[in-house]
Structure 1
Amino acid sequence: MLSDTKNWLRKNPQVRTIRVAACDLNGQPRGKRVPARFAHKVVEDGTRFPFSALNLDIWGEDIDDSPLVFESGDRDGLLHPTQRGFVPMPWLEAPSALLPIWMFHEDGRPFEGDPRHALAKVLRRYKARGLTPVAAVELEFFLIDDSGKKLEVPISPRSGKRRKAAEVLSIRALDQFDQFFTDLYDACEEMDIPADTAISEAGLGQFEINLMHQDDALRAADDAWLFKMLVRGLARRHGFAASFMAKPYEDYAGSGMHVHFSVLDSEGNNIFDDGGPKGTDALRHAVGGCLAAMYDSTLIFAPHLNSYDRLVPENHAPCGISWAYENRTAAIRVPSGSPAARRVEHRVAGGDVNPYLLLATILGAALVGMEDGMEPPEPITGNAYAQDLPRIPDNWEAAMDAFEASTLIPRILPEGLIRNLLLTKRQEAHYMAELSPAEQVEIYLDTV
């Protein structure tokens, strides 16, 4: 991998600068800009910045009373390139490249506050059992004109008009922004992000793009993290904003990030496939684990104040803890189709999540369910919103309390990460309460 990374620089002499960046707990890239002629030093020796840099609040401020700051002398961690290597940054004017990195201690131990390591740890547990998750995400986002005091749909470059309506599965809505989507798909190909189908969605100026299934869940999370950066950056080049915030418009549905997953055994067989529509015991137990952890892990699925504006009944976001076959009102859906492709769709998370923490939590909960043989309740039929179901927390504070009190979450995520995330969210809640709704939207619009 080291030689491949070096070769990439030699093959791309037009790249003048690189960014080295790791993902913090809020999904924000934290790192440095380096002239390309010095990039070999990062590739060979890594780079350093404080452990606390991966545990900043949404404004990029230190966390008060964090043991990573003054208590420990704000020590440096050592960051090395991930397996991804260099990735072009086609949303920038000057030819540039991003080198994703992740954090370690000086003695080589992974830093447990790094969300990418949290997912890698879950995947090692699967591997120890001879299992491999296959994962994909669906990402919803809004194109927004934020140049005025009020958020609006951007004016179409083709028609010169502003269409103030949600248009589900509208080819016309996609064609209104044809050049943006053409550039987006070209950029995804350049960055090796497996972007598949694009559709218009139920929100105002809302779209969804699916990323292809792959048997490397760590790479799937990398793709989602990079895709969010790309969409936001490329939209600005086109003169408007793109946002994955959960709910920018009060009267329209919010954005989700749905996760599809199955599990392969050591011979490449889907362990959820029983040859029919119902799926195996392993599928039921995975669903059971996801349902058992759902209440406690809502803070992962809805990590921001604005996240809870999306989680309201009959607004295309699940609120009740349930599962079903081929039913999009349930929190967990088992899609129909070929038995060989039998899988689970987890539908709770907003578009504003950290992809590494999302996949770590969902796949970790499924593994706990399979380890413990957890049986889910009977699948529901009909409209989940109209049924008396146990519900996930409907506000940020309740989600924090559930996450902190959980006995299941420590079986999935590292203790240090749990502590750091709670400190982060409680600090953000304190300062968000001092802001107006417009100021809250402003900070979320460009970050999450």
Structure 2
Amino acid sequence: MKNWLRKHPQVRTIRVAAADLNGQARGKRIPTRFADKVVEDGTRFPMSVLNLDIWGEDIDDSPLVFESGDADGILHPTERGFLPMPWLDAPSALLPIWMFHEDGRPYGGDPRHALRAVVDRYKSRGLTPVCAVELEFFLIDDSGRKLQVPLSPRSGKRRKAAETLSIRALDQFDEFFTDLYDACEEMDIPADTAISEAGLGQFEINLMHCDDALRAADDAWLFKMLVKGLARRHGFAASFMAKPYEDYPGSGLHTHFSVLDKNGNNVFDDGGPQGTAIMRHAVAGCMNAMAGCALVFAPHANSFDRMVPGAHAPTGISWAYENRTSSIRIPSGSHKARRIEHRVSGGDVNPYLMLAAVLGAAMNGIEDGAEPPAPITGNAYAAELPQIPGDWKSAIDAFENSEEVKRIFAPEMVRNFILTKRQELHYMQELTPQEQVEIYLDTV
């Protein structure tokens, strides 16, 4: 890690940052000449910092604050090391960190450790999950009271219409996307295909599959940070909030995953289109935990505006082959790439918690040998299906009472997440919809 800074002498400051429960980067700005100390000894800040609400406030009844004396955790660099920060004017570097107890134990309230614990369950069986994510986001002109599509840098006009798979829409913001792909190269984020989506100024970029789930979550977390920062350099906002426009679809964060055995074989591949028994067990696990994990997939007040029937976001719990109305989709294509697509999450999720929930639920099903119901055909919205919680309070209650959730997440994580979301629910009810949008636009 030290060699990276020596190879980039123009970098004058670093940021050390960890993801809190909402996926917000929390950390410090440090002059480069003191970076060696952070690399060698880590840095410290209160454990409660990873358990702030969406406004960055302490959780009122959290035992991490006054009850424990607001004790420190110690944070060490992740294996990712230093990364450039191309959205800033001054040459700067980001050092991702994660939290431990003084005695070296992982801190159970750190979202990255939640995912690590799930990956360890796979490792104990000689298995490795392979993950890829598709991230949707909006480019937004938020300079006035009403959100709207930014002016096209090419024509100076606003195109106030859906632009599904429009090359013209991509070309209008070509300078932004060119800079974005260059920045992804600098940060070693595997950005692949970009498309325009059905919302106003909405786009999707796929990140390539990765056989390291922690790195896949790192990539998604860093990508969200990069997109939002770089958009501001271009004079507009970028947001991963679930539903900025009432009359258009919201943004999802779809996850594709398969599982390799110790010999590198895809355990979902049966040589044909159906997939193996292990794949069905994983599907069943995902379905069984879906209601309980809805709070992870839809963590904010605005999240549930996206999850309405017929709006390209799942509302029922189902699975199907090559069917985008279902919550779990088995894509077609080569049997060697047989995989599961989990389609519930909004773009506003914490990627670490989301992948922990998806992969942890799948492992629950694999461990139990669970069997799913028959796959559906046709329109899932028109079928009578068990429903994903449709409002924030119901999702909080389901998370708190779910036995599947308790198998995936550490007790400290479950407690902290519930306390955080109950506090946010209380204070969000005091705000107008416009005030809520203003909070979520830049934060999530």
Partner of 2:226: 230
- For residues 6-49 of structure 1, give each alpha carbon's deviation from its aligned partner in whole angstroms, at most 9, with x where no partner exists: 00010000000000000000000000000011111100000000
- For residues 365-418 of structure 1, give each alpha carbon's deviation from its aligned partner in whole angstroms, at most 9, with x where no partner exists: 000100001100000000101111111000000000000011110100110000
Partner of 2:443: 447
- For residues 165-222 of structure 1, give each alpha carbon's deviation from its aligned partner in whole angstroms, at most 9, with x where no partner exists: 0110000000000000000000000000000000000111000000000100100000
2:368 maps to 1:376: no
| 1:21-420 equivalence runs, <5 A | 21-420=17-416
Corresponding letter in the other structure for 2:94: L
Local SS of the residue matching 1:143: strand
Corresponding letter in the other structure for 1:57: D
2:9 maps to 1:13: yes
- For residues 242-284 of structure 1, give each alpha carbon's deviation from its aligned partner in whole angstroms, at most 9, with x where no partner exists: 0000000000000000000000000000000000000000000
Superposed structure 1 runs of 4+ greater than 4 Å apart: none
**How far off is 1:99 after superposition?**
0.1
Percentage identity across paired residues of the two chains = 79
Rounded Cα–Cα distance in structure 1 between residues aligned with 2:403 and 2:260? 28
Rounded Cα–Cα distance in structure 2 between residues aligned with 1:288 and 1:431? 36
Rounded Cα–Cα distance in structure 2 between residues aligned with 1:169 and 1:389? 31
Aligned CA-pair RMSD: 0.3
Rounded Cα–Cα distance in structure 2 between residues aligned with 1:238 and 1:426? 36
Rounded Cα–Cα distance in structure 1 between residues aligned with 2:121 and 2:283? 18
- For residues 421-442 of structure 1, give each alpha carbon's deviation from its aligned partner in whole angstroms, at most 9, with x where no partner exists: 0000000011101111111000
TM-score (norm 1): 0.99
Rounded Cα–Cα distance in structure 2 between residues aligned with 1:293 and 1:45? 39
Rounded Cα–Cα distance in structure 2 between residues aligned with 1:78 and 1:328? 43
Rounded Cα–Cα distance in structure 1 between residues aligned with 2:169 and 2:261? 42
Rounded Cα–Cα distance in structure 2 between residues aligned with 1:438 and 1:36? 40
Rounded Cα–Cα distance in structure 1 between residues aligned with 2:83 and 2:221? 12
Rounded Cα–Cα distance in structure 2 between residues aligned with 1:220 and 1:71? 36
Corresponding letter in the other structure for 2:442: D
Rounded Cα–Cα distance in structure 1 between residues aligned with 2:124 and 2:223? 30
Corresponding letter in the other structure for 1:270: N
**How far off is 1:77 after superposition?**
0.3
Partner of 1:434: 430
Rounded Cα–Cα distance in structure 1 between residues aligned with 2:169 and 2:265? 40
**How far off is 1:65 after superposition?**
1.1
Rounded Cα–Cα distance in structure 2 between residues aligned with 1:388 and 1:317? 16
Rounded Cα–Cα distance in structure 2 between residues aligned with 1:388 and 1:121? 35
Unaligned runs of at least 5 residues, structure 2: none
Rounded Cα–Cα distance in structure 1 between residues aligned with 2:349 and 2:375? 27
Unaligned runs of at least 5 residues, structure 1: none
Partner of 2:419: 423
Rounded Cα–Cα distance in structure 2 between residues aligned with 1:128 and 1:87? 31
Rounded Cα–Cα distance in structure 1 between residues aligned with 2:433 and 2:326? 30
| Number of residue equivalences | 444
Corresponding letter in the other structure for 1:227: F
Rounded Cα–Cα distance in structure 1 between residues aligned with 2:90 and 2:352? 29
Local SS of the residue matching 2:14: strand
Rounded Cα–Cα distance in structure 2 between residues aligned with 1:230 and 1:78? 26
Local SS of the residue matching 1:212: strand
Local SS of the residue matching 1:71: coil
Local SS of the residue matching 1:426: helix
